[in-house]
Amino acid sequence: MRLARPEFCTGTAIVCTIGALGAGAEDTSALALAYAMFLVLAVHLATQYVSEYFDYEADCANHSASGAVTGGSRVLQEGHLPRHAALVAAGWVAALVLAAQAVIVVATPAGEGRYRSMVPLAFAGMLLGYGYTAPPLRLQYRAMGELTIALVVNVLVPCTGYASQSGHACWHAWTDSPQLAVLITLMFCQQTVRALIMNLPDIQADVAVGKITLASRLGLRVVAWLYTGVQVGVLCAAAAAACLQLLPLHLAGVVAAAAPLALYVGLRLLAMGRVWDKSGRGSDLPVLASIHMDGSMLLLLVSMAAHRAISQL
């Protein structure tokens, strides 16, 4: 169970549900949403297992104080399972997803958009998830991992939820649901800089094994300014979107309510200077950044669900 790191699946499930609610469909389908949830969580797990295998050396070299959220599950490093077990687990999960996709393509009518529209999204997620750490792409080793995380979790996942209810291809979200398009854009920006924070404690170990993340390329000082600037920019963008009636006030209010925690993290990062504090005083910052990201998404989901329930009374 530790190898799967199920605590990180919560955010994926939340974002998928946000996408489903953002579709605003009158004819909702719980079964289609359940299938979307299966796809995104399966892709998430497969990515985690692949990363455990191909990040083995980097995780062995990682002795950061933030190991609760960085540095892998430590299951392989502690010898609880052989290294190849992670790759076998990934293979089984990927096979299950491919089998489910094949059944959908064969069994559903050509005009049934709910399920078929999720097929390319799942394949894209699997490709990027595998290429995140595995050759030949190895995106995380080429300073593209942080953007990949944000693209998969905060674009492909909500688009899968959207497709499960609308039956439309993902790009229709930008024309049919401005509210969802704004949320996806804001979450993408926040997830990218959150991923940068997650990689900061691991820079020394990563560089030692040739893993060049975007965080190691930019350095602590630039990441600190980028994280703080993006959080301020997201807050301003949410306010502007609300003024333009692209984002409901209750959702803009959620973004504003979550902003103080993010700004607190940013200010503490700026106060650290140019070198990560190895004494452990900054070890809580990746955790706080994750709490802000997942907490704000949960609040967005609750606000959207409550507003929908009230509007149907």
In this prediction, residue 65 carries a pLDDT of 44
Q: Half-sphere exposure of 265 toward its Cβ, with a 13 Å CA cutoff?
A: 30
Judged against a pLDDT cut of 70, whether residue 71 lies above it is answered with no
d(CA 278, CA 45): 31
User: What one-letter code names the amino acid at 281?
Assistant: R
Between these two residues, 228 and 112, which has the higher pLDDT value? 228
pLDDT band at 68 (very low <50, low <70, confident <90, very high): low
d(CA 132, CA 149): 8
Q: Which of 147, 141, 149, 100 minimizes the C-alpha distance to 125?
A: 149
Per-residue pLDDT averaged across 283-311, rounded?
94
Report the mean per-residue pLDDT for the chain: 90
Judged against a pLDDT cut of 80, whether residue 44 lies above it is answered with yes
pLDDT tens for 232-248 read: 999 999 999 999 999 99
H or E element that contains 70: none
pLDDT band at 277 (very low <50, low <70, confident <90, very high): low
Backbone dihedral angles phi then psi of residue 212, each to the nearest 5 degrees: -100, 95
Give alpha helix (H) positions in the chain. 9-22, 30-54, 56-61, 84-107, 113-116, 119-131, 145-151, 157-166, 173-176, 178-199, 203-208, 214-218, 220-243, 249-271, 285-311
Between these two residues, 75 and 313, which has the higher pLDDT value? 75
Structure tokens at 238: 């949410």
Helices 249-271/220-243 angle, 10° precision: 160
d(CA 196, CA 219): 10
pLDDT band at 3 (very low <50, low <70, confident <90, very high): confident
DSSP state of 200: G
Judged against a pLDDT cut of 80, whether residue 113 lies above it is answered with no
**SS3 labels along 110-149:** CCCHHHHCCHHHHHHHHHHHHHCCCCCCCHHHECCHHHHH
Longest dimension (CA), the chain: 60
